[in-house]
Amino acid sequence: MRYIDEFRDSAQVKGILDEIESLGLREGINLMEICGTHTHSISRYGIRGVIPRGIGLLSGPGCPVCVTTEEEIDAIIGFARENRDVVIATFGDMLKVPASVGSLEGVRAEGSDVRVVYSPLDALEVAIGEPEKEVIFCAVGFETTAPTVGATVLKAMELGVDNFSVISLHRLTPPAMRSLMEEGEVRIDGFICPGHVTAITGSEAYRFLAGEYNTPCVVAGFEPLDALLAIYMLLKQIKDGRAEIEVEYSRVVTPKGNTRAKRIMERLFRVVDTRWRGFGLIAASGLKLKEEFSLYDAERRFYIRRMEAVDKDQGCRCADVIRGIITPEECSLFSTLCRPESPLGPCMVSTEGTCSAYYRYERR
């Protein structure tokens, strides 16, 4: 249990809590995590309840399913309804996400061929096993999953599989963090940076936050001691008047990241301006397949059109939750009309969603 037990050791946790207390920082400090796994870890282990009351832990856009727009999901749903002989392969989190014209789970009930897979390679296996069908993989994720999707496209090319394609819904994390700082809707004094994403990008990807916005960053792991150490390191920087990029998760993350994974991303994808749920258009924040891989780009191959979402305002404030403006409990629908079995927004659907974390661990 190495790297597990030692990061859950109660004596070490108490020691870090004492160090945090000794800094004497009490009021008006907001730290934001940009990772759905961090969000769930902080809630699961009761981190908010043991740190000084004046230190706020905000949850940002750390859930890739949650920031996927209604227009994107509507387009996939519309295509699935019109082409029931095509297999739509997706991660389970995407099934129940409500869009303005329904959900993928709904169109599956109507007869469309929507299948849950656990990796893009699973979707490729479906295409190999059923060569008479077109298989489209909905590629949702941040920098962590983009290299695996790129590698799967290369595998399809190597094997000569021509009935497999992807809809790239990938987002890049640093541009969203820049948008949060530029908009200034909520005060952010430091970032708890995502461990898995940064294992790919490297911690240098956040250098602009320290240089341009004087905002400290700490890349953290996902155990309770990881989270508390990251909080302590951020608070220590704030107390010392420093703004640096530090890595608590040094057992996985390096400054330069995974060069092989980044080469795959650079070879397969081009960076584009992309809309995010809750944010609108963020410059240079998305990934699309390059022209030379257009055979595997489902949007080009099948002319999948994005339409303006139908306005069906039900009072869901997921967009505000994603930006850290409110906590889930400040939404009037939370745990009443919006619950895991009847979600009204993606933040309650996804296993990485903030509302899901609060409902499971912090509901009062």
In this prediction, residues 230-250 reach a mean pLDDT of 97
Strand partners, 263: none
pLDDT on residue 158? 97
Number of folded domains that form the chain: 1
Please give the average per-residue pLDDT across 75-97, as a whole number. Answer: 95
pLDDT at 3: 58
pLDDT for the residue numbered 206: 98
CA-to-CA separations, 172 to 110, 143, 267, 273, 300, in angstroms, rounded: 34, 6, 16, 10, 21
User: Which structural domain, as residue segments, surrounds residue 74?
Assistant: 1-364
Q: Which two tokens stand for residue 123?
A: 């979707």
Query: Where do the DSSP E strands lie in the chain?
Result: 29-33, 55-59, 87-90, 113-116, 135-141, 164-170, 190-193, 217-219, 245-247, 269-276, 280-289
Task: Output the domain CATH number for residue 272.
Answer: 3.40.50.11740
Among 19-28, 129-138, 166-175, which is the least confidently predicted range? 19-28
Tell me: pLDDT of 318 over 70: yes
Q: Would the pLDDT of 48 be above 60?
A: yes
Q: How confident is the model at residue 270 (pLDDT cuts 50, 70, 90)?
A: very high
Q: Tell me: the pLDDT tens digits for 152-161?
A: 999 999 999 9
pLDDT at residue 5 in the model: 61
**pLDDT on residue 311:** 57
**Integer CA distances (angstroms), 118 to 49, 54, 136, 276, in order:** 34, 40, 14, 24
Mean pLDDT of the chain: 94
Q: What count of other Cβ atoms lies within 10 Å of the Cβ of residue 276?
A: 23
Instruction: Tell me the percentage of the chain whose pLDDT exceeds 70.
Output: 96
Lowest mean pLDDT segment, chosen from 2-6, 71-75, 123-127: 2-6
Q: Which two tokens stand for residue 151?
A: 């590698």
| pTM attached to this predicted model | 0.94
Q: How far is CA 36 from CA 39, 141, 193, 348, in A?
A: 5, 11, 11, 12
